Structure 1
Amino acid sequence: MAQGTGGEARSRLRRVGAVLSEHVSPTVDADSSLEIEVVDSVAEVGRERWNGLVERSSRGSVFHRYEWLAAVESGLGYPARHLVVRKDGNVIGCLPNVVVGIEKTPFKRLSSAYPGFGGPLLPTDTMDALERVLDAVPSHCGGRTIVHQIRGLDAGYLRYNDPLQERGYRPYRRECRFLLDLTQGHDAIRSGMSRTRRRGIEHGEDGDYEIVAEDITRGNLRRFHRTYERVMDRVGAAAYPFSFFDALRPMADRLLLLTIRIDGEYAGGMLEILDDERDAVHGFFAAVPREYFDDHASELLYDRVFQWGIDHGYETYDFGSTTTDFTDGVFRFKESFGGRAVPVLVWERGCSPLWRLVKIGRSLYWPYYT
């Protein structure tokens, strides 16, 4: 499979400028040379132009890239409402959005973005572009789509907090992520783990096991997905369909599929997302059947991906989102690897009177919602 090129090369990539031009018939604001348009697919902008914008934006990430958003559109069937900013015909900014369901309700939200993390990419004319993009959002809600949500990847999105709140967006914090510093080296990472995790790795290493990086083929993804579905069913969570995994294959150079075999038998694996824009490895999907827990398959896989990330020049391992409840088992498991908890930055803006009712209902089953 294709692998990461190292932190130095990725930093050079982010500095590469791109000339982004394509003729589209937008709606022009008479008071500005900026033009805001909604597109129903990243395909309407094009791979080269869209990714060029991502690569020259300080906030760009793998979740903003053409290939990820195309997989969300085609593999999950989420309708896209991407807001594109143009100046003199050139693409200078965007706010990716897809329409997804609101949990436990018949309503929908416009989300930037989901799954993953999004938010505006506005490397030039930032304030003017941000105001115009945010002002355009309500016209792309309506019907059962009653709220707009922005999920920022990191604290850098706090720069937009005041303009967001001025336009009715409200922050809420019910998710966090654990980030592990890979630059400290593998020995220091192991030392920072809980005693339980260290012992699990040590006991697992005494067994007969093998971990390999698999090619991103349809067959390998299919095998992983079957195990992933079993695991999600066991924990009572909804699984993404195989169509989404299959749609990720065009971004194979941004995926790492690790498989573990114990006593020669397939024992699960992990599908990691490689964020070269942020020098980070995202632990997005893990699938280890219960029967391999006593063999410490999960600990062995995490330990190996940490070493892989170090070897390939990545700076951070991101365990992905979890609840902020320290009594939750997933929270404690991720915390035990020694990562640093950071909040997931989320802002929401109601686009319908129904949103107030949904918030009241949501607070009943998320008692710590604010």
Structure 2
Amino acid sequence: MAQKTGGSTRSKLHRIGSLFSERYARPTVSERSNLEVDVVDTVRDVGKEQWNGIVDRSSRGSVFHRYEWLDAIETGLNYTPRHLVVTKDGNRIGLMPNFVVEIEKTPFNRLSSLYPGFGGPLLPTDPKESLECIVETVPKLCRGTTIVHQIRGLDTSYLRYNDALQSWGYRPFRRECRFLLDLTKGHEQLLEDMSRTRRRGIERGRDADYEIVEEELTRENLQRFYRTYERVMDRVDGDVYPFSFFEQLQAMESRFLLLTIRIDGEYAGGMLEVLDDEHDAVHGFFAAVPREYFDDHASELLYDHVFQWGIEHGYETYDFGSTNTDFEDGVYRFKEGFGGRAVPVLVWERGCSPLWKLVKAGRSLYWPYYT
């Protein structure tokens, strides 16, 4: 935790890189390279400029790694941070954000890099040595009810770490995918590549009296969006993020696109899109369209608008966000109909407690294809 002294905040970093020299007979990589790992209790202990500087230097850095996104999770969701920062000769050269989050349907927690969003290590300098330092440190962070570490990579570039991670006890876990739409094809080709159902939905929706507006990320606009988002998530029995999280996102307003659709002059829902400028991608992270506007094809109209917006603003990819991998699921089929390419969400898990085996066995009862 940060300690306050005389009205100022002083960082409290736990240096534990040297602890591993006592565990191994041979010298560790961290000793040979003068590397240390700091366990950071809040991203604010590092500071925006230094943190984002590492993100900017890494080819795998994304909007979800940035200081502002992590700060919104810390302050808006109140998840416990356990960020790892690699230093060499006193200089910060790499990082991996982590939060302690609940494991669904259990009383246990997981250490996740990263949720919500996608994380994983950013190691632009000394990647081999830095990765070894990080994975050596992880078990120290899994105590009590925190029984597993999970890495959620944003894209297939994280496959470069697969063999190394598996050698350290991480195992791939595949139960989610994302549909990626290639915006460089242009709008007309996107329409042509869609299923007949999605294309027809857009065409029929255009016959209505509708308007789509790009909104400012004001508290009032967010509250209106949130009320609908809350209704939608309750209807589908989904987890609802508190409004405090959405409020914190205002600090990175330039990385969001808030769209509102009105049909016959009435508010008919909206979408809150995350702009990943690091990867020239638009992420469909939050959507809120009430059921009463399904027949007006409000969702199809919103998606079609954001595709065109992305093309006009030079983005290369539209990412529909995570969904399960069941081809019979309605959400899967809906997203698939827009013609995107399905790619797996790359997840690795490493048990840090004997209890993890019991949780995995229980998980197989409600996810029978994933053990």
| TM-score bucket of the superposed structures, by smaller chain | over 0.9
Structure 1 segment 1-370 matched on structure 2, within 5 A: 26-27=15-16, 29=18, 30-370=31-371
Residue deviations 1:52-103 (CA, integer Å, cap 9, x gap):
1101101100000000000011110000000000112211000110000000
Letter in 2 for 1:224: F
Q: 1:281 to 1:246 in 2, by over 3 A?
A: same
State the alpha-carbon separation in 1 of the partners of residues 12 and 74 from structure 2: 23
**Structure 2 counterpart of 1:147, which letter?**
V
Q: How many residues are paired up?
A: 349
CA distance in 2, matches of 1:145, 1:117: 20
The CA deviation at 1:238 is 1.5
Deviation at 1:24, TM superposition (A): 6.6
SS at match of 1:207: coil
TM-score by length of 2: 0.92
How far did 1:32 drift? 3.2
RMSD: 1.3
Question: Per the alignment, in what secondary structure is the counterpart of residue 248 of structure 1?
Answer: helix
CA 1:115–1:23: 2 relative to 1, 3 Å? closer
**Do 1:24 and 1:89's aligned partners in 2 also have CA atoms closer than 8 Å?**
no
* CA displacement 1:95-136 (0-9 Å, x = unmatched): 110000000000000000000000000001000000010010
Which amino acid is 2:81 matched to? A
Residue 213 of structure 1 contacts residue 257 of structure 1 at CA under 8 Å; is this kept in 2? Answer: yes
Distance 2:238 2:51 in 1: 33
Distance 2:95 2:334 in 1: 36
Tell me, in whole angstroms, the C-alpha distance in 2 between the residues paired with 1:24 and 1:42: 11
Contact 1:147 1:351 in 2 (8 A): yes
Deviation at 1:172, TM superposition (A): 1.1
Measured at CA, do residues 35 and 251 of structure 1 come closer, stay the same or move farther in structure 2, by a change above 3 Å? same
TM-score, L = length of structure 1: 0.93
Range that drifts further, 262-271 or 87-96: 87-96
Given that 2:68 and 2:251 are in contact with CA atoms closer than 8 Å, whether structure 1 keeps it comes out as yes
Partner SS state of residue 33, structure 2: coil
User: By how many angstroms is 1:279 displaced?
Assistant: 0.4
Assess, with a 3 A threshold, how the Cα gap between structure 1 residues 25 and 75 changes in structure 2: closer, same or farther. Answer: closer
CA contact 1:23–1:89 (8 Å) conserved in 2? no
In 2, the alpha carbon distance for the partners of 1:235 and 1:203 equals 25
Counterpart Cα distance in 1 of 2:294 and 2:132: 50
CA distance in 1, matches of 2:114, 2:234: 25
Q: Distance in 2 between matches of 1:338 and 1:26?
A: 48
Which amino acid is 2:322 matched to? Answer: S
**Structure 1 residue runs of 4 or more that deviate by more than 2 Å after TM superposition:** 22-32
Give the SS at the match of 2:348: strand
Q: Per the alignment, do residues 89 and 25 of structure 1 end up closer, same or farther by CA in structure 2, a change over 3 Å counting?
A: farther
Change (3 A) 1:24 1:172: closer
**Following TM superposition, by how much is the alpha carbon of 1:23 offset from its aligned partner in structure 2, in angstroms?**
11
Q: SS of 2:296's equivalent?
A: coil
Q: Partner letter of residue 228 of structure 2?
A: T
Q: Secondary structure at the match of 1:63?
A: helix
Structure 1 gaps of 5+ residues are 1-21
The percent identity for this pair of structures is 74
SS of match in other structure, 1:237: coil
